[in-house]
Structure 1
Amino acid sequence: MVLRTLHLASLSNLFPKKLVAMENGSWKISKWIVAGGSIKEGRWIVYDKTGIESSVTDEEDVANLLDTVKVVGLNGVEIPISDLWKDRKAVIAFARHFGCVFCRKRADYLASKKEVLDASGVALVLIGPGSVDQAKTFYEQTKFKGEVYADPSHSSYEAFRFVSGFTKTFTPKAGLKIIQLYMEGYRQDWKLSFEKDTVTRGGWQQGGIIVAGPGKTNISYIHKDKEAGDDPDIEEILKACCS
């Protein structure tokens, strides 16, 4: 069987649970189930419920799946997350939550290179789990130079399989970073941190950074935070987006 090649091996971290069904002699993804997918030598492989390799999707299938993940802009309009990069290249940061002190540092750290991004035609976007009101407060407080979106359902975090958990949040390294950030003048917004949209998830969510586009399935860089405050080297991001 000839396997179609997708753009990027990094897509192996997207949408691990899918059902494939035979339609007109070819396999198509139809809905979520306990099955799996992975990349083998740049090819997107899907598995049936028994774990047997069945076929591969094409780029249209992956694009359709990305369209099911929605984020909400500060204007209250919901869009598929892939709209953020389908017609442009973008650096997209995923915050732990909108009150997080680490995320305020991440916003500044990326915004410090806004002129470089602009010169390369690269958009800067930050997504946070929570409500649009929380996103608006974050935007007003930080004066972030890029675009801000809320993910009330956390679906983008689940799609990219960003880690979550108490032990991923309170680590010795993260504790030292908090002290450093407070010495630099950064502060946690405890009011935002204890709002329902954050508390219901425990505030243990970690984020990451991707570089994507143009093209819905064109994801050229993925960094997943291993713990709170796990920012990659800025030059690594610039190399991925602007070289």
Structure 2
Amino acid sequence: MDQNQFQAALATFPSSRGKTLDKLSEERPVLVVFLRHGGCPFCRQVLDQLHALSEQIEQRNLQLAIVHMMDNEQADQLLSRYDLQNVQHFSDPERKLYELFQVKRGNLSETIGPAIWWSGFKTTILSGYLPGIPGKDIQQLGAAVILDQSRVIASHFSQNSADLPDWDELLACEIPHDQ
């Protein structure tokens, strides 16, 4: 897919507020976070981290957008729990944005296998991010990308369900839009 096709595809997915990622990224760069499913404790941890990083995200002149597989009402409830109710979010139960950005689905060992157990224990028991009801696709992995002028300029694609972005590294990327 070439850049024009990618941009055209971005224009077909409106957020809960009617904005598309191509339009958002024309205004200013966008940190687009792809969640796994709504019941995922690692996703709840990511949402909490995003709330804690909101000032840093704003200082970098980034907008935050969240892609999820929930309906908008469920997402509104979950996002408000982490004081992210004003964030642009995209309901994608068919996983079309996930596929467009090539966010992979994990196999069982990458989503619930033994390598995930220790991280899961730390996240749920020690940190208190309790799981909710499993969502639409428990094998979908997460990602975070910075989109500027409909181009991905930085990214983190999770290799397993516990693989979260290094936010400092991702947010430190050079953003051409700034220049």
TM-score bucket of the superposed structures, by smaller chain: 0.7 to 0.9
What is the alpha-carbon distance in structure 1 between the residues aligned to residue 14 and residue 110 of structure 2?
Answer: 24
How far does residue 110 in structure 1 lie from its aligned partner after superposition? 2.4
How far does residue 133 in structure 1 lie from its aligned partner after superposition? 2.0
Percent identity reads 20
What's the TM-score, normalizing by structure 2?
Answer: 0.84
Greater than 2 Å deviation, 4+ residue runs: 59-62, 65-68, 79-84, 140-146, 165-168
Asked whether the 8 Å contact 2:34–2:66 carries over to 1, the reply is yes
The reply on whether 1:204 has 2:139 as its aligned counterpart is yes
The match for 1:82 among 9, 22, 29 is: 22
What is the alpha-carbon distance in structure 1 between the residues aligned to residue 39 and residue 169 of structure 2?
Answer: 26
How far does residue 107 in structure 1 lie from its aligned partner after superposition? 1.2
How far does residue 115 in structure 1 lie from its aligned partner after superposition? 1.0
What count of residue pairs does the alignment treat as equivalent? 173
What is the alpha-carbon distance in structure 1 between the residues aligned to residue 75 and residue 15 of structure 2?
Answer: 9
What is the alpha-carbon distance in structure 1 between the residues aligned to residue 25 and residue 74 of structure 2?
Answer: 23
The match for 1:188 among 119, 131, 137 is: 131
Larger radius of gyration: 1
Aligned to 1:153: 94
**Relative to 1, partners in 2 of residues 1:61 and 1:186: Cα closer, same or farther, differing over 3 Å?**
closer
SS of 2:15's partner is: strand
Unaligned runs of 5+ in 2: none
**Relative to 1, partners in 2 of residues 1:71 and 1:229: Cα closer, same or farther, differing over 3 Å?**
farther
SS of 1:130's partner is: coil
**Relative to 1, partners in 2 of residues 1:82 and 1:170: Cα closer, same or farther, differing over 3 Å?**
same
Aligned to 1:233: 166
Unaligned runs of 5+ in 1: 1-14, 16-56
**Relative to 1, partners in 2 of residues 1:137 and 1:71: Cα closer, same or farther, differing over 3 Å?**
same
Aligned to 2:43: 103
Structure with the higher fraction of residues in strand conformation: 1
The match for 2:108 among 155, 166, 172 is: 166
What's the TM-score, normalizing by structure 1?
Answer: 0.64
Aligned to 1:177: 119
